Structure 1
Amino acid sequence: MTTPARFLCADAARLRGDPIAGTAPYGSVWILIEYRAGWPSDGFDGLDLEPEVKALVRSAAQAVRARVLLIRRHGRRRPDDRPRWAVLRYEKDGAHSQEWGTWDDDRDLAGIVTALDAPGERGHPPVFLVCAHGLHDTCCAVRGRPVARALSEGWPQLVWECSHVGGDRFAANVVAAPDGVYYGNLDAPLAFTVVEEHLTNRIRADHLRGYTDLVPPHQAALAAVLRHAGPSGRHDYVIEEAVRDGDRWRIRVAGRLGGLSTFEVEIRARRAPAHQLTCRGPSPGSAVYYDVMSLRVG
């Protein structure tokens, strides 16, 4: 009797050719908590913290629609320094902010709430979060950890493994925060190139899931522009106008710098047939994808 092959959602998604553009979740604030013990499958919600502190952080995060992620350095090494927490915030003017603190006691995490009301410090380089949450999804570990190892060798101070960021089938996933840029379908060499170029403000469409300050059809339109016009900076294009008609959008993407064109992009939403979308998914799910129907210089 033949043993059935283990289902891996990222392998299945690649075989199906699942589109990647337009799949980044919306958000502009990240709360990071360094946690060096094993991560529960549901991340922060599953931590054994003081209930009052946990409720305080959760409520403050929900108020600003912040995503709470657990982080650790690759290899689960246990350095002598104290675990850290951070509040990272994306600003539309490009001046991102970060506020970092440390914690030994659960009550120290209340500093996160104060930091959410503070302006934060500007001028720091982004951090790169590699989803490696194996207890949540097998592909995040199988594909994420080799990427985290490679990136940690190149940028040890900027790279963290993190808990679930969404889109397990696009593993390995890398998030640049607080830039709010999601990359997916990466392996170690590709991830190294993506991060290297991101740090020089060159973003390519090939592995771009989207910008988290944009809704999915806008993400797909901007990715189409980058695919057509070539790599560009995080803030080089802006969504100038978007008109929806049923399952279609007409989106005007304008270059903000001299020499960059303006584009008219037509996007159509379609719901794919139901598939098992995650390794541990209890039942099939149906994703919505955004196809580029036309693109022309406006």
Structure 2
Amino acid sequence: MTEGARFFCADAARARGDALGGTAPYGRVWVLIEYRRGWPVNGFDGLDLDPEIKALVFSAAQASRARVLLVRRPGRRRPDGSGRWAVLRHDDAGALRQQWGSWRLDQDLAQIMNALQSPGERDGPPVVLVCAHGLHDACCAVRGRPVARVLSERWPDLVWECTHVGGDRFAANVIVVPDGVYYGGLDAASSLTVVEEHLAGRIRADHLRGFTTLYPPQQAAVVAVLKRFGPAGQHDYTVVGTVRGEDAWNVKVSGGPSHGRALDVVVRARRTPQLRLTCRGPEESSALVYEVVSVREG
């Protein structure tokens, strides 16, 4: 980067070749709140809502280990009128559940607390979220909004922009929920391919950050398997065991399109040197990277 040039964390990450696999935050429950006005830098926490209602929603989400995201449809925003909210859940049995409602007054958001205690409806269409939280990180707006626009033109009922999802340097980030699949490093063309494949039941490895139902070493292992054997359904491969040694994990993966494959994947973690990982501040920090050492058929 030339002296005086503006720093963009996603450009720097691509130039370094930062690994995507193993970078999806763990989680099974998401709370979406449609908010069409400007998003504060800290998302839901920064909204000027009734403090009691905000505290109740936050406590209920925390108890359910749910992530709260503000969402809006891409394009020109109409701030007036009622908005929608949703609780999306990938339950322990693998079922995908959703519950939707609407809100106009702050007090209407109290419905979210009851929804977090309810299993919700099965078999709803997936929700495609594109991080476009520019006030949190410039790359999320610069790279995210064009992706949100092109995806919404193709799938207008599925696509929303959302607040910070983690991993700013991997912008544009796309998350499919309640499936719980993170993709990163996307642009307009690649996002269309990745989402089309995902909706057809094929997970591609080239932009996959990981499945949120797995922990980072397991995510990295599954990404490596998909790279070796090609795209597959989200549940075609199953992590059946994970053993941590002194300096590595041995992740056992079974399944695949033939449903008979047994794989041992060795994954190591290492710390990167101090790097500037976000656009917002000059501070440098170290990232934890999961590297696949080997993939062996058992």
Q: Evaluate the alpha carbon distance shift between residue 79 and residue 151 of structure 1 in structure 2; reply closer, same or farther with a 3 A threshold.
A: farther
Task: Please name the residue that 1:68 is paired with.
Answer: 68
Corresponding letter in the other structure for 1:111: Q
- Name which of structure 1's ranges 245-254 and 140-149 shifts more when overlaid on structure 2: 245-254
- 1:220 maps to amino acid: A
Give the alignment's TM-score, normalised by structure 2: 0.97
Partner of 2:185: 185
Match of 2:234 in 1: 234
- Aligned twin of 2:223: 223
Give distance in 2, aligned partners of 1:189 and 1:246: 42
- Over the aligned positions, Cα root-mean-square deviation in angstroms equals 1.4
1:4-19 aligned at under 5 Å gives the runs 4-19=4-19
SS at match of 1:75: coil
Report how far residue 64 of structure 1 moved: 1.1
Aligned mates of 1:180, 1:71 — CA distance in 2 = 17
Please give the per-residue CA displacement for 1:42-82, whole angstroms capped at 9, x wherever unaligned.
Answer: 00000000000000000001101100000000014328762
- Aligned residue identity for 1:18: D
TM-score between the two structures when normalised by the length of structure 1: 0.97
Q: Hey, what does 1:120 align to over in structure 2?
A: 120
User: Once the two structures are aligned, what percentage of the paired residues are identical?
Assistant: 66
Q: Tell me if structure 2 keeps the 8 A contact 1:94–1:235.
A: no
Counterpart contact for 1:206–1:227, Cα < 8 Å = yes
Contact 1:36 1:76 in 2 (8 A): no
Deviates most, 14-23 or 253-262: 253-262
Counterpart amino acid of residue 107 in structure 1: Q
Q: Distance in 2 between matches of 1:168 and 1:116?
A: 28
The structural deviation recorded for 1:36 is 0.6
> 1:234-273 residue pairs with structure 2 within 5 A?
234-255=234-255, 258-273=258-273
Which residue number corresponds to residue 36 of structure 1? 36
Q: Is the 8 A contact 2:204 2:232 kept in 1?
A: yes
Give the whole-Å Cα distance in 1 for the aligned partners of 2:177 and 2:127: 5
Asked if the contact 1:247–1:270 (Cα under 8 Å) also holds between the matched residues in 2, the reply is no
Q: Which residue of structure 2 lines up, in the alignment, with residue 146 of structure 1?
A: 146
One-letter amino acid matched to 1:210: G
CA distance in 1, matches of 2:250, 2:281: 34
Task: Identify unmatched segments of 5+ residues in structure 1.
Answer: none
For residue 74 of structure 1, give the secondary structure of its aligned residue in structure 2.
coil
Aligned residues: 297
CA distance in 2 between counterparts of 1:73 and 1:262 reads: 43
In 2, distance between residues paired with 1:208 and 1:55?
34
Which residue of the partner structure matches residue 289 of structure 1?
289
Could you tell me how far 1:262 is from its partner in structure 2?
1.5
The answer for unaligned runs of 5 or more in structure 2 is none
CA-CA distance at 1:146 after TM superposition: 0.3
SS of 2:75 mapped into structure 1: helix
| Residue 261 of structure 1, CA deviation | 1.3
SS at 1:14 equivalent = helix
Encode CA deviations 1:12-44: one digit per residue, 9 max, x unaligned. 001111111000001000000000100000000
